[in-house]
């Protein structure tokens, strides 16, 4: 496998190891990082599995840090997309490392194997891979205007084939899809009845912006439905989940998000609580 050529017994900075991993695909860097973080590669692989489950990577199981073949060591294109999306969102301050074209360590200069970094200035990552079993693989990402897409290509016969397939996927996505902010965080989407409160009602909305990539021209075809919990009673805390927003396209649900309280609603006085208790029994 590929290496960054770490000398035995030599101390290496974490940043250098990450550069060796990201830019040079160094298996020795992957093992060194794993052993430093978890004590052993096996323990680190278990940490990888825990994180994968937390991210929703349902079809992945890792046995090592390098990606080298092992019985039971598996992943899928969708899971690699989920991982890449999380990495870009959670570590934006480090993501630009994936666009570095070459790196020198131990007086050995190596080039990033992602050919798209030279061919398309909108491409800024992400990672190549190759084994005899998996073929030539590439997770790529590009940003054009305010839209970012991620492509995942597995099992191609050559470096050129994976680059070509990735370019086709990205170009297709940018041509035929668009990214829209459907709803802004904190914006009131509906009012809800709040029992046992002086105010009597409250505003509901989303915690985070709902941003989706959809086929161009389909924005007007989207349908949204709000499902609000019945018999909401005070006290209610800002951010408390009280329902859900469902977005559909062509009869198919494409997004579901929690509908939350946008304000605190305290309990009302004893008279209000007593009257509403009777009313609730009659509902």
Q: With bands split at pLDDT 50, 70 and 90, how would you rate the model's confidence at 276?
A: confident
Whether residue 121 is found in the same domain as residue 15: no
User: Which domain covers residue 216, as residue numbers?
Assistant: 184-282
On the question of pLDDT at 198 being above 80, the answer is: yes
Burial class (CB in 10 A: 0-12, 13-18, 19+), 145: exposed
- 16-49 per-residue burial string, b: 16 or more CB within 10 A, e: under 16: bbebbbbbbbbbbbbbbbbeeebeebeebbeebe
Predicted local distance difference test score (pLDDT) of residue 281: 85
**What pLDDT is attached to residue 156?**
99
pTM over 0.75: yes
Residue after which a domain boundary falls, among 150, 178, 206: 178
Token pair in block for residue 227: 């499902």
Please identify, among 92, 112, 132, the residue that sits at the C-terminal boundary of a domain.
Answer: 112
The predicted pLDDT at position 279 comes to: 82
Q: What total number of domains does the chain contain?
A: 3
pLDDT tens digits, one per residue of 71-84: 999 999 999 999 99
Peptide bond into 197 cis (omega under 30): no
Strand 232-233 and strand 222-228: the pairing is unpaired
Tell me what percent of the chain is helix, strand and coil, each rounded to the nearest 5: 35, 35, 35
Token pair listed for 37? 């973080």
pLDDT at 1: 84
Q: Which two tokens stand for residue 200?
A: 């009597």
CATH of the domain at 81: 3.40.710.10
Whether 167 and 95 map to the same domain: the answer is no
Among 112, 141, 160, the domain boundary falls at 112
Q: What is the mean pLDDT of residues 30-56?
A: 98
Check residue 155 and give its pLDDT: 98
């Amino acid at each position: 496998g590929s290496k960054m050529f770490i000398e035995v017994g030599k101390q290496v900075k974490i940043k250098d190891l990450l550069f060796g991993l990201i830019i040079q695909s160094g298996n020795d860097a992957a093992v060194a990082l794993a052993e430093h973080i978890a004590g052993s590669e096996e323990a680190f692989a278990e940490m990888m599995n825990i994180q994968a489950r937390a991210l929703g990577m349902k079809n992945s199981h890792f046995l090592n840090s390098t990606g080298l073949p092992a019985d039971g060591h598996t992943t899928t294109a969708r899971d690699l997309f989920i991982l890449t999306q999380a990495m870009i969102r959670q570590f934006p301050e480090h993501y630009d490392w994936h666009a570095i074209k070459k790196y020198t360590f131990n007086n050995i200069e190596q080039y990033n194997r992602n050919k798209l970094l030279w061919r398309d200035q909108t491409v800024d990552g992400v990672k190549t891979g190759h084994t005899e079993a998996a073929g030539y693989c590439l997770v790529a990402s590009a940003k054009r205007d305010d839209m970012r897409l991620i492509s995942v290509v597995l099992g191609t016969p050559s470096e050129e084939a994976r680059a070509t397939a990735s370019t086709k996927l990205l170009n297709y996505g940018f041509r035929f899809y668009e990214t829209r902010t459907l709803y802004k965080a904190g914006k009131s989407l509906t009012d809800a009845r709040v029992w046992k409160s002086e105010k009597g009602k409250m505003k509901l909305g989303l915690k985070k912006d709902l941003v989706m990539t959809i086929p161009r021209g389909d924005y007007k075809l989207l349908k949204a439905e709000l499902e609000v919990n019945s018999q909401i009673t005070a006290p209610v805390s800002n951010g408390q989940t009280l329902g859900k927003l469902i977005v559909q396209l062509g009869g198919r649900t494409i997004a579901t998000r929690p509908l939350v309280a946008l304000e605190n609603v305290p309990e009302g006085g004893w008279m209000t609580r007593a009257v509403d208790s009777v009313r609730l029994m009659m509902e």
